Structure 1
Amino acid sequence: MLVANASLSGCTGLNSAHCAAAGDGYPGSASYRTTLSPAGHLVVAVCLGFIGFFGLMNNLTVLVLFYRYKLLRSPINLLLINISVSDLLVCVLGTPFSFAASTQRRWLIGAEGCVWYGFANSLCGIVSLISLAVLSYERYSTMVTPAEADSSNYRKISLGILLSWVYSLMWTLPPLFGWSHYGPEGPGTTCSVDWTAKTANNISYIICLFVFCFIVPFLVIVLCYGKLLYAIKQVSGINLSLNKKREQRVLFMVVIMVICYLLCWLPYGIMALLATFGPAGLVTPEASIIPSVLAKTSTVINPVIYVFMNKQFYRCFQSLMRCEVPRRGSSQKSSSKVATKAMRGAAVTGPRQSNDFLYMVASLGQPAVTVPQLHVSHELTINITNGHSSDNTPVVV
């Protein structure tokens, strides 16, 4: 991931041998110093060890569930898998090296390893952020135009996944070719984009990176989930008591998503801007390591919020732990079909809004087995079909 760079100066007042050891393997190590104490390095190592272990386990579990249970292989779930893959790569390609460096209190894999670390973690971090934005847009667009999980939907999601990787490459390759560069940061145990160089070349890159890889994804997430909540309120007149529960549940999920996004990435972005535009020495190595660790916690939090809070995945997880076959009712594809058939059978505005709402709830992780239990859809379907049939069996169900 991108990590905020501290403003660094010479080794004045410090033991020269210690400075050389701390900067060993870095480009420009003669001007690099670390002020983080041994106890501080130990705390950072413990945090990184925790993040690396649980991030690896959480994301591996998601991939195992997706591989084992075919009912999870819906188009929108592919975006969740893409997020897990990018987070897993951070846990494999980044966290172990920064963990080892923290235990030894210096970088261990040289200058080329520093550049590779900065590039790989920046790439995977931006892929995760863009995927979250694509996921929010897909959930909103699915709610507006519900459809079955056909090949066209898979193509659209595949394009979204490809977009996230290409977009990330667009912003992580330039430092390798002269627009800014990757280098040491913080207490000397990680590498990232050089936030401290005051040249026009570096500042222009940092401004573009901040706007297009932090602000834009955040605005997309807030806008899409805001519209999604507004759509829920539009159907509040159909069944007040039932819709209030759904609205509260979706609102809770949206608030958690936005808060965790800001908690992981906002301190990181602020620290980077302070290091870039503030006076030299404003951001110390001790201060810069905190947002760095917070940004890496997203690899642990993302699977919990976007997957294990999803009842579809959670039921499969329970089945995996119990060595059982999951109930077919948790299939998103089934929920998609129910909502789509209801949409096609509706002839008035009220039922159409209700079915939009049903599909939206399903797309947020509500198990499809609950869809037929929603009295709104049940009653509306009976009203529509009563004029043409004498029995009271809902056609859609």
Structure 2
Amino acid sequence: MIVSNVSLSGCAGVNSPVCAAAGEGHLGGDTYQTTLTPTGNLVVAVCLGFIGTFGLLNNLLVLTLFCRYKMLRSPINLLLINISISDLLVCVLGTPFSFAASTQGRWLIGEGGCMWYGFANSLFGIVSLISLAVLSYERYSTMMVPTEADSSNYRKISLGITLSWVYSLIWTVPPLFGWSKYGLEGPGTTCSVDWTAKTANSISYIICLFIFCLIAPFLVIVFCYGKLLCAIRQVSGINTSMSRKREQRVLFMVVVMVICYLLCWLPYGIMALLATFGPPGLVTPVASIIPSLLAKTSTVINPVIYVFMNKQFYRCFRALLHCEVPRRGSSIKSSSKITTKAMRGIAITSPRHINDFLFLVASLGQPAASMPQLGPYVEPTLDITKGPSSDNKPVDVSIADDWL
């Protein structure tokens, strides 16, 4: 039995089995009247229509590019594809039901459908959040710690993808078996975790969900990208002409990622906590629909930030539009090992090697076939796998200037 999270104002003065069932605290039959006005329902339906359409198109385009161009089929890009798949599933298996409910002014698919909607949207949403955290950690580890060979990288990325789905299942299955529950949310046109239940059972689940599925991924993202920026700043004073531009570019990308993450998910988290710990009626149905819509916009924003602002995907996108072969960007190809000491600036003694190091620090991604143009101070035949003296250990790299 699903307890409704909405008021019964939509049933005022109406004598029907549906409203009677709702007054008893559960979904009766296969409908439930919304608390929004017809104009409000229309506005919500239009927003959901735009979100669903553009989210579907953006993520389908990402998958099309990945399948069409072999140069995109690298281990790290699998994480981007995992994010796109989870967002695409939200657009296909979730948004259409809430869109239909908003157009009709009532929930249409009954109690079982409400449980499915709440479970599926929570599952795919958490997969996306955890994948973003895994992606940031992979970028951080690629630059700051030694990495393994490419074949091993595929196993590591596959493990990260599997972890995102298993972790999400761990936190979305319990409401199906009694630890909290899924029910109608806000004005009654969407379903999610029952935020308004004041029982210890429900509150304990909501606290864990907030900490482990919202705060923890955010902290991982901030830590990893913060360390990336620190690594770039450490060498920016050595060669300002080359590092300042890359530092500003990476800083811009990190700020955009963090702001969009907070914009999409923080209002929803705050709304859930206010509904859980605040007095009854503090979060009105009308106010609760806005954070819900913001959370759904992540399905549109994620492909733009993490894919179309990625140089490799952008080049392939332009090639797809012009029906041509995409050109490869600047890259350095070697075996994919990076020594931590080298990344911290040790064993860099000449301007030529400083330029090489700055290029490596600011460039994260997979190798391509061509050699980079590092500027007039670097000779094309320079072998960067050798240190400037016999005291320095070899540094093997596999980083491209396409990642951020």
- Fold shared per TM-score above 0.5: yes
Q: 1:23 to 1:327 in 2, by over 3 A?
A: farther
Amino acid at match of 1:302: N
2:90–2:121: 8 Å Cα contact kept in structure 1? yes
Amino acid at match of 2:334: K
Report the identity percentage.
69
How far the C-alpha of 1:15 sits from its partner, in A, is 2.5
Inter-partner Cα distance in structure 2 for 1:387 and 1:11: 78
1:7–1:282: 8 Å Cα contact kept in structure 2? no
Q: 1:367 to 1:249 in 2, by over 3 A?
A: farther
1:19–1:33: 8 Å Cα contact kept in structure 2? no
> 1:227-274: CA deviations, max 9, x gaps?
000000112133211100000000000000000000000000000000
Query: RMSD of the alignment, in Å?
Result: 3.4
| Cross-structure match for 2:216 | 216
Q: 1:49 to 1:289 in 2, by over 3 A?
A: same
Inter-partner Cα distance in structure 2 for 1:386 and 1:126: 47
1:22–1:106: 8 Å Cα contact kept in structure 2? no
1:6–1:275: 8 Å Cα contact kept in structure 2? no
Inter-partner Cα distance in structure 2 for 1:164 and 1:96: 25
Inter-partner Cα distance in structure 1 for 2:253 and 2:321: 25
How far the C-alpha of 1:327 sits from its partner, in A, is 1.3
Which protein is richer in helix relative to its size? 1
> Bigger relative contact order, structure 1 or 2, given CA contacts below 8 A and separation 6+?
1
Amino acid at match of 2:362: V
Inter-partner Cα distance in structure 2 for 1:22 and 1:86: 37
How far the C-alpha of 1:359 sits from its partner, in A, is 3.4
Q: 1:72 to 1:176 in 2, by over 3 A?
A: same
| Cross-structure match for 2:237 | 237
| Cross-structure match for 1:20 | 18
1:36–1:286: 8 Å Cα contact kept in structure 2? yes
Inter-partner Cα distance in structure 2 for 1:157 and 1:382: 29
> 1:266-317: CA deviations, max 9, x gaps?
0000000000000001111100000000000000000000000001100000
In terms of mean alpha carbon deviation, does 256-265 or 8-17 score higher?
A: 8-17
Inter-partner Cα distance in structure 1 for 2:159 and 2:356: 27
How far the C-alpha of 1:23 sits from its partner, in A, is 7.8
Q: 1:329 to 1:33 in 2, by over 3 A?
A: closer
Aligned length: 379
Q: Does 1:373 align with 2:374?
A: yes
Q: 1:12 to 1:114 in 2, by over 3 A?
A: closer
1:7–1:284: 8 Å Cα contact kept in structure 2? no
Q: 1:204 to 1:354 in 2, by over 3 A?
A: farther
2:333–2:371: 8 Å Cα contact kept in structure 1? no
| Cross-structure match for 1:260 | 260
How far the C-alpha of 1:160 sits from its partner, in A, is 0.4
Inter-partner Cα distance in structure 1 for 2:192 and 2:72: 36
| Cross-structure match for 2:179 | 179
Amino acid at match of 2:236: S
Aligned counterparts, 1:1-397, within 5 A: 8-11=6-9, 14-17=12-15, 20=18, 28-29=26-27, 34-145=34-145, 150-329=150-329, 335-337=332-334, 348-350=347-349, 355=356, 357-363=358-364, 371-374=372-375, 378=379, 381=382
1:34–1:285: 8 Å Cα contact kept in structure 2? no
2:143–2:338: 8 Å Cα contact kept in structure 1? no
How far the C-alpha of 1:143 sits from its partner, in A, is 1.0
Amino acid at match of 2:107: W
Amino acid at match of 2:374: Q
Q: Please give the secondary structure, in 2, of the residue aligned with 1:276.
A: helix
For structure 2, the residue ranges without an aligned partner over 5 or more in a row are 391-397, 399-404
Inter-partner Cα distance in structure 2 for 1:381 and 1:291: 53
2:72–2:312: 8 Å Cα contact kept in structure 1? yes
Amino acid at match of 1:221: I
In terms of mean alpha carbon deviation, does 232-241 or 315-324 score higher?
A: 232-241
Q: 1:104 to 1:233 in 2, by over 3 A?
A: same
2:347–2:388: 8 Å Cα contact kept in structure 1? no
Q: 1:112 to 1:6 in 2, by over 3 A?
A: closer
Q: Please give the secondary structure, in 2, of the residue aligned with 1:192.
A: strand
Q: 1:6 to 1:146 in 2, by over 3 A?
A: farther
